[in-house]
Amino acid sequence: MIISTNNRMKITFLGTGTSIGVPVITCDCPVCVSTDLRDKRMRTSAMIEVNGLTFVIDCGPDFRQQMLQQAVTNLDAVIFTHEHRDHIAGLDDVRAFNYVLNKKIDIYGTPQVMEAIRIEFPYIFSESRYFGAPQLTTHPIDDKPFTIMGIEFIPILVLHEKLPVTGFRVGDFTYITDASYISDAELEKVKGSRVIVLNALRNSKHVSHFSVSEAVEILKRLQPEVAFLTHLSHFVGLHEDVNKKLPDFIQLAYDGLEVVI
């Protein structure tokens, strides 16, 4: 999908599924047995390519396969939304980029996220570094805009039940996952985005994620040119069926979907 050809930025949905992915192990529901590739969902992640740079938002347990599927040959930074394992568990696999590109990989996240990564991957940060460990440069972030190689990222602070999660606005693109609450003040940062991505776990209410109807109501308030729902479970339903019921400017994202702004 191409919205514009000016100042082009490409967003690729690397994964659009919830923490256990779709299909779910052992499940034989219509979604999990679907032959439509849009119903096959790896753990949620997105890639932004702009000005010759490549950024990945979150690297969960499917990170290696996502990089191979998209034939990614460059990585400039990984930006983390939060510390849950379905968003950080693939970090070890950035070492392939260390070897091939002969450089450290920059990672960005809140101090809370960075501490969780240090606990999850102690061998990366030990004083006597294991030879095969990934080589990283850590960059703590807060609620203030920050720049990576000339590209500005504006943090959008949301809550995943009680857990702080960071969404990001890059130019006309806003990406928010794992949210169940966004304050009016943070929504002001999102307004004017031409493309918005928002999580929608299932059709019924959930304690730590927006439902489809809740996400749709927020997007109706924001009125982007186009919006995509991500972090989808098999409870949402078949991609083809659900898309027909959504407002014209809202679609379900799917793995491999590319959007050029």
Reported as a single tens digit per residue, the pLDDT across 236-248 is 999 999 999 999 9
- Which residue spans within the chain are E strands per DSSP? 9-15, 45-50, 53-57, 77-79, 105-109, 136-140, 146-148, 151-160, 163-170, 173-176, 195-199, 226-230, 250-252, 258-260
Tell whether 4 is covered by a domain: no
Among 104, 110, 134, CA closest to 122 = 134
* Structure confidence by residue, pLDDT tens digits, 38-90: 999 999 999 999 999 999 999 999 999 999 999 999 999 999 999 999 999 99
* Structure confidence by residue, pLDDT tens digits, 2-40: 554 456 999 999 999 999 999 999 999 999 999 999 999
Residue 1: predicted pLDDT? 59
Residue 3: predicted pLDDT? 53
Predicted TM-score (pTM) above 0.85: yes
CATH number of the domain encompassing residue 142: 3.60.15.10
DSSP notation for 20-38: T-BSPTT--STTTT---GG
Tell whether 146 is covered by a domain: yes
Q: What is the mean pLDDT of the chain?
A: 96
Residue 130: predicted pLDDT? 76
Residue 58, domain extent: 9-260
Domain count for the chain, please give it.
1
Tell whether 29 is covered by a domain: yes
Tell whether 3 is covered by a domain: no
Tell whether 65 is covered by a domain: yes
Residue 209: predicted pLDDT? 98
* Structure confidence by residue, pLDDT tens digits, 129-181: 777 899 999 999 999 999 999 999 999 999 999 999 999 999 999 999 999 99
Tell whether 153 is covered by a domain: yes
Residue 5: predicted pLDDT? 45
